[in-house]
């Protein structure tokens, strides 16, 4: 699923004046003029899911004390200064050295306990490193530690969503649903962005769909598609993809195809996950009609154009192999059978943990 963020963070080099680093961070406002809302000389003290807290570095303005700005109003935050251990951890993480990254994030936690933005970013990044190492239980503990320390963390939505996915991977669907319901409720009664409520409902619908509870899933997808349409069109289109899948499973192929075509027309070129999902859906429609060549073209479009969309690639690889296998039997083309074997081999090699890698494309 498409993940949305309100703030992106740039790693900058240390700037020295004599021997002391300049500690000024930057807050870039979304809408207002640079002269009035472009804070280039501040010190970020804390970030929650709703608010950024800071002080001005200028001695005169600093007398005004702690300041705050809604996170929803902010386009970008630049942390000019980061603890040395934190920077080392980021570098190790970028290089895929997750064990070393965790060690330095843990060291950074001890170096600047007072800097809440540092601590919550450390906990969150530690959890991400554990996930990339396949250590789900350890990742869960780090997310829990984050939320215990910062109950209104800037990563509140990401943490609950990730914990729900971990619960599902461990077979605890009830715990996953509970985590998502908590996220949905928080988005409904606090200043946590509505986006996270919609995202949680998308996740919940997906879990229901995977449990073959098509009716409840369809209803939830339709609600998200309708409610998020004007504010979060990308989320709305993801929900429409789920709606189309459910309709296809209920035997309403024509309705499904109509929705998929609407999604393809509306999605921007940057919405690669949406586009890949839509073409996989179109492929499914053609399979249901016995139109194997048209299905193959749709699936191959995903394979060739959206290789980076890992959420959609296993389905596209498996079904491309299936289409080639069926067509090789129908038209007696041995080369197509070889293509089927090749695509399935790629699926096994690159996405061996996917359910599609355990399915038989020859059936």
Residue 113, pLDDT score = 53
Which pLDDT does position 325 carry in this prediction? 97
Q: DSSP for 295-333?
A: HHHHHHHHHHH-TT-TTTHHHHHHHHHHHHHHHHHHHT-
Residue 59: per-residue pLDDT: 73
Residue 258 has pLDDT above 60, yes or no: yes
Mean pLDDT of 43-52: 83
Mean pLDDT calculated for residue range 154-168: 95
Per DSSP, the residues of 79-134 read: -----HHHHHHHHHHHTT-HHHHHHHHHHHHHH-TT-HHHHHHHHHHHHHHHHHTT
Q: What is the mean pLDDT of residues 17-39?
A: 57
Torsion angle (degrees, nearest 10) of CA 346, 349, 352, 355: 10
Residues written for the chain = 363
Alpha-carbon span 297 to 50, nearest angstrom: 45
Residue with tokens 């906990």: 123
**Residue 202 reports pLDDT greater than 80:** yes
Structure tokens at 307: 């290789």
The arithmetic mean of pLDDT across residues 335-356, rounded, is 95
Structure confidence at residue 19 (pLDDT): 35
What pLDDT is recorded for position 116? 60
> What pLDDT score does 63 carry?
72
335: exposed, middle or buried (Cβ count in 10 Å: 0-12, 13-18, 19+):
exposed
Work out the end-to-end distance of the chain between its first and last CA atoms, rounded to an integer number of angstroms.
29
Check residue 38 and give its pLDDT. 55
Q: Are 150 and 109 in contact (CB under 8 A)?
A: no
Lowest mean pLDDT among 48-62, 179-193, 313-327: 48-62
What average pLDDT does the structure give for the chain?
Answer: 87
Tokens of 132: 């990339």
- Comparing 11-20, 128-137, 181-190, 339-348, the range with the smallest average pLDDT is 11-20
Which band of pLDDT confidence, cut at 50, 70 and 90, is reported for residue 112? Answer: low
C-beta atoms surrounding 236 within 10 Å: 20
| pLDDT, position 14 | 31
Neighbours of 317 (CB within 10 A): 27
Predicted local distance difference test score (pLDDT) of residue 47: 85
With beta carbons less than 8 A apart as the criterion, state whether 101 and 125 touch: yes
Q: What is the pLDDT of residues 277-287, one digit of tens each?
A: 999 999 999 99
Residue 8 pLDDT class (50, 70, 90 cuts): very low
pLDDT at 32: 59
Q: What is the mean pLDDT of residues 113-120?
A: 71
pLDDT at 16 over 80: no
Query: Percent of the chain scored above 70 by pLDDT?
Result: 90
Check residue 6 and give its pLDDT: 37
- pLDDT of amino acid 30: 75
Contact 113, 132 (CB under 8 A): no
Q: What is the Cα–Cα distance from 208 to 214, expressed in whole angstroms?
A: 7
Q: To which residue do tokens 């038209």 refer?
A: 331
């Amino acid at each position: 699923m498409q993940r949305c963020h309100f703030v992106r963070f740039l790693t900058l080099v240390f700037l020295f004046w004599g021997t002391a680093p300049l500690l000024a961070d930057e807050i870039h406002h979304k809408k207002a003029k640079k002269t009035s809302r472009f804070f280039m000389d501040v010190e970020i003290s804390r970030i929650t899911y709703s608010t950024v807290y800071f002080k001005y570095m200028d001695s005169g303005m600093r007398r005004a004390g702690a300041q705050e700005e809604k996170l929803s109003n902010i386009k970008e935050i630049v942390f000019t200064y980061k603890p040395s251990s934190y920077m080392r951890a980021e570098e190790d993480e970028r290089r895929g050295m997750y064990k070393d990254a965790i060690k330095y994030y843990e060291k950074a936690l001890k170096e600047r306990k007072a800097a809440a933005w540092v601590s919550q970013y450390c906990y969150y990044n530690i959890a991400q490193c554990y996930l990339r190492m396949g250590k789900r239980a350890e990742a869960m503990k780090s997310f829990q530690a984050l939320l215990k320390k910062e109950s209104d963390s800037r990563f509140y939505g990401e943490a609950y969503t990730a914990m729900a996915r971990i619960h599902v991977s461990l077979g605890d669907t009830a715990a996953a649903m509970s985590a998502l319901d908590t996220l949905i409720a928080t988005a409904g009664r606090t200043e946590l962005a509505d986006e996270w409520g919609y995202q949680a409902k998308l996740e919940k619908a997906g879990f229901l769909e995977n449990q073959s509870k098509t009716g409840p899933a369809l209803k939830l997808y339709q609600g998200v598609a309708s409610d998020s349409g004007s504010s979060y069109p990308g989320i709305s289109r993801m929900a429409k993809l789920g709606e189309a899948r459910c309709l296809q499973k209920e035997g309403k192929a024509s309705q499904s195809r109509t929705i998929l075509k609407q999604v393809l027309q509306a999605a921007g070129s940057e919405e690669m996950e949406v586009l890949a999902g839509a073409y996989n859906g179109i492929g499914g429609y053609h399979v249901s009609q016995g139109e194997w060549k048209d299905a193959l073209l749709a699936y191959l479009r995903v394979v060739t154009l959206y290789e980076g969309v890992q959420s959609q690639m296993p389905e596209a690889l498996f079904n491309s192999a299936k289409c080639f296998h069926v067509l090789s039997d129908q038209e007696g083309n041995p080369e197509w059978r070889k293509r089927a074997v090749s695509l399935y081999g790629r699926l096994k090699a690159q996405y061996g943990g996917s359910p599609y890698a355990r399915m038989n494309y020859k059936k």
